[in-house]
A and B are shown apart, each in its own frame.
Chain A
Amino acid sequence: MLKHRVFAAVTLLEVALLVVLVLHCNARRQRESASVIPANRHLARQLELTDLAIWTEARYTRHPSQADRFAPFQDLPSSLEHFPAGSVVPPPERAPEPGRGSR
């Protein structure tokens, strides 16, 4: 009757490790939500920033929210996508006409 005890102990150890990781992440989240995120929000408000500086290889990947509606194909119709980041950004959903409410 030893093996099932070892199995239970290993499973409990894994669960405990997972709980510790979740608690650690939650503590970090609370800490950063109180300091880093408000500071970044303030920065975005003051500098009037609209996008994250993740992909800098093309206009439509640097500012996805400000890009032309046909952005990935702006060089010529049906042209192939140049940049790997374009694979991460899906084709835009049809934007609502202003004043008609959100999707």
Chain B
Amino acid sequence: MQRFKILEYALSSLGRRKGKHLSIIAVYAFTISVLASILLLSHALREEASAILADAPHVVVQRISAGRHDLISTDIIDPVRQIPGVGEVRPRYWGYYFDGITGANYTVLGIDDRRTVELELLEGALPEAPGECAVGGGVSELREAGIGDELVLVDSRGVGVIFEVVGAFRSESNLLTNDLVVMSNADVIEFFDLPQNRATDLSVEVFNPKEVQTVAAKIKVLYPDTRPITRSEIIRTYDAVFHWRSGMVLMVFFSALIAFCILAWDKATGISAEERREIGILKAIGWSTSDVLELKFWEGAAISVTSFLLGLIAAFVHVFLLDAPALAAVVKGWSVLFPQFRLTPSLNLYQIFVMGFLTVVPYVASTVIPSWTAAITDPEEVMRA
């Protein structure tokens, strides 16, 4: 019962300085929402990348020339296929296209038109004949090219080539296909004027996933000028890119954390004369030191818990209901074609608990500790000070 009375007094005490405490709650909740938005967004992006790219090629083999990616000879396909454990080895033909009209970069990707592929996220069909293409949502929107329309691109000889759009990727696949222009391998070779027997890179299938590293090592021994990139390396790349320690995310994260530290430091470095007088009066009328500390604990806990919950709610709404508009602008950079994507919500409760522990506990401590120094001083001295 006494505890409730102290809580009641703590809440009344907060109410007496309503403006000050409401502004602390607003700043505290905003800081928590920034921190939580970053953690939720980076975690969701990381989970999405590893889920989507889980079926990326087992090994991609690039040729490195003078330290840079170069076209690879298709003559090595058969020797690579002879390596035990290797299944299909397919040349990949792809490249980049700068569209002078819109200022955007597209990724032009070739597919083997002899393979029949059914794609749930494609309206229309994949290109099967020369002069046909399928486009991603971003390209379709930017060039106003839907199914049945024409897409004019300038090839490497400077000649405009007309492609008929036969397929358009649905918006659910924007994270993968937003800037894609898919055409047949023959069209890509012709468009970029690639030399004969040369491909952009090779895609190697390995039957046993445990042998991927061994196969990659054998390819490297057979062809020292190549760089095999395994599926696990691809997934690890995105794990690093969207890790909370990565560049921009870390910068925003630390800015918010420093703002919070300043808030807590301001509380910890001292209490106002009015608060000291209040503690002195409470001691003089018979409150014990532990009662005063409990009072201050409840004051700190009430502000902390309210702000933490408000911040978390704001972060959830911002990231998963509004698709993180504030952070998307930071992540977007200079991309002309930036996908409108909807993230699959993904929670890491451990991160939330750690954030709660790192913010609520220091704030409560920074409220209680300066009050403790006042509470153990003689009440008369405190009131006279």
Interface residues of A (CB under 8 A from B): 1, 3-4, 6-7, 10-11, 14-15, 17-18, 21-22, 25-26, 28-29, 32-33, 36-37, 39-57, 59, 61-62, 64-66, 68, 70, 74, 83-90, 92-93, 95, 97-103
Contacts and interface: CB of A to CB of B under 8 A. Distances in A.
A43 B119 contact: yes
Contacts of A40: 51-52, 121, 172-173, 175-176
Nearest to B117: A46
Given A51-B234, A98-B213, A26 B345 contact: yes
Given A48-B57, A56-B335, A88-B331, A36 B247 contact: no
Contacts of A42: 55, 119-120
Interface centre among B106, B339, B345 (most CB of A within 10 A): B345
Nearest to B90: A48
Given A40-B172, A89-B247, A56 B11 contact: no
Given A3-B12, A7-B302, A41-B51, A54 B339 contact: yes
Given A45-B55, A88-B246, A98-B213, A3 B15 contact: yes
15 contacts: A4-B11, A15-B309, A18-B316, A21-B317, A53-B107, A55-B332, A64-B238, A65-B233, A66-B69, A68-B69, A74-B68, A85-B334, A88-B246, A89-B246, A90-B246
A39 B236 contact: no
Interface stretch (B149-157, B189-197, B216-224, B373-381): B216-224
Main secondary structure of the interface of A (DSSP, over half): helix
Contact of B67 (A45, A50, A68): A68
A46 B119 contact: yes
B240 A4 contact: no
Contact of A39 (B53, B172, B330): B172
Nearest to A36: B172
A50 B247 contact: no
Interface string B164-198: 00000100111111111010000000000000000
Interface in B277-329: 302, 305-306, 309-310, 312-313, 316-317, 320
A42 B309 CA distance: 39
Contact of A88 (B8, B120, B177, B241): B241
B335 A57 contact: yes
Given A53-B177, A89-B247, A100-B213, A47 B52 contact: no
A36 B111 CA distance: 22
Nearest to B213: A99
B121 A43 contact: yes
